[in-house]
A = this chain, B = another copy of it.
Amino acid sequence: MQNPSPVPASLLTDAQQAEIADARAASASTRRATAPGLEALLFQAIPVLDKGFVRVVDYMGDDNAVVQGARVSYGRGTRAVQSDRGLIRYLMRHRHTTPFELAEIKLHVRAPIFVTRQWFRHRTASINEYSARYSVLEREFYVPPPESVAAQSASNRQGRGAAMAPEQAARVVEMLRDDAARCYDNYLWMLNEAEGEAHDPGRAGVARELARINLPVGIYTQFYWKVDLWNLLRFLSLRADPHAQAEIRAFADAILGVVQAWVPAVHDAFADYVMNATTLSGPAPALLRAALAGREPLDPAAFGLGGRELRELVETVPELAGRIQAAASPDLA
């Protein structure tokens, strides 16, 4: 992983930075497996979006934990580096998932509420979130940079299309910022507290759990997230994907860098066999074989292929397009 971008001064308070520096300064001796690439990153805030971050706060295991688990071994469980790497790739290619569950990581994340709502749909993880019933939320909202403000996609009903004209984007950004600011001001007014004291002693403060209900889903919250390596990879395969919303994808991309620093052999196998893999539906190989055997023009319907499924296949192997009979061309339009 490249060095994470420097932490903007505004991301953390001085007290928070001091706490992190203290934690990084401490060191102890352990008999456990350590991952040097992750030790270097430990506790540091990796910036994501305008005010979010990901921090690794603990981890268990390394590439070798996967090998050791697959072999149910008494010692380190490793043999030659080459054969360990080969075993990891074999396990990944054949979706032998349980050894990948034997490594674990714990992150501290600051993210907007609408991002956490997508994040927490992944159920196989442990979560402790900052409580807005118990504590006052900070004045931190996600405001997209103007170049991220895009129109609704025409082709993909749940995504973004073209970027908007700069002056229109600026207006949207301003509107989002104003709404958030006004709601937060009203939140503070309702709470009526300043450092433990009532701001206006003439009235009671509203309970926190109630005053927060007008805060926008763009407000930042924070949480501890602990997950095993396999379920982390599952999360990344869905959230580092082009179909994911750009904002959660920014977090997933940052975490992909963490995975690379932590378990490089697993990271590479995951990239080759999951992230960049292509799944062909049942009839597709037969069509490919016929094309390679020189039979043409090919009739996709004779292979049980058509519609969106055929279009996706031709996107993967564009050389097929010219060999398919004209009658199927509407499917490819």
Contact = CB atoms under 8 A, between A and B. Distances in A.
Interface residues of A, number: 140
A74 to B, nearest CB: 4
B289 A292 contact: no
Given A216-B216, A316-B285, A205 B151 contact: yes
A250 interface: no
A149 B74 contact: no
A216 B186 CA distance: 12
A83 B107 CA distance: 25
A172 B206 contact: yes
Given A28-B34, A72-B222, A272 B281 contact: yes
Given A93-B281, A186-B175, A291-B292, A27 B27 contact: no
Nearest to A307: B86
Contact of A161 (B193, B207, B273, B276): B207
Contacts of A80: none
Given A27-B29, A32-B59, A273-B281, A217 B210 contact: no
B128 A98 contact: yes
A284 B323 CA distance: 20
Contacts of A289: 317-319
Interface string A126-163: 11111101100000001010001111110001111110
A201 B126 CA distance: 47
Contacts of A111: none
A299 interface: no
A281 to B, nearest CB: 5
Interface of A: 12, 16, 19-20, 22-24, 26-34, 39, 42-43, 57-61, 65, 68-70, 72-76, 86, 89-90, 93, 98-99, 101-102, 104, 106, 108, 112-114, 117, 120-121, 123-124, 126-131, 133-134, 142, 144, 148-153, 157-162, 164-165, 168, 172, 175-176, 179-180, 182-183, 186, 189-191, 193, 203-210, 212-218, 222-224, 226, 228, 245, 271-273, 275-285, 288-289, 291-293, 304, 307-309, 312, 316-320, 323
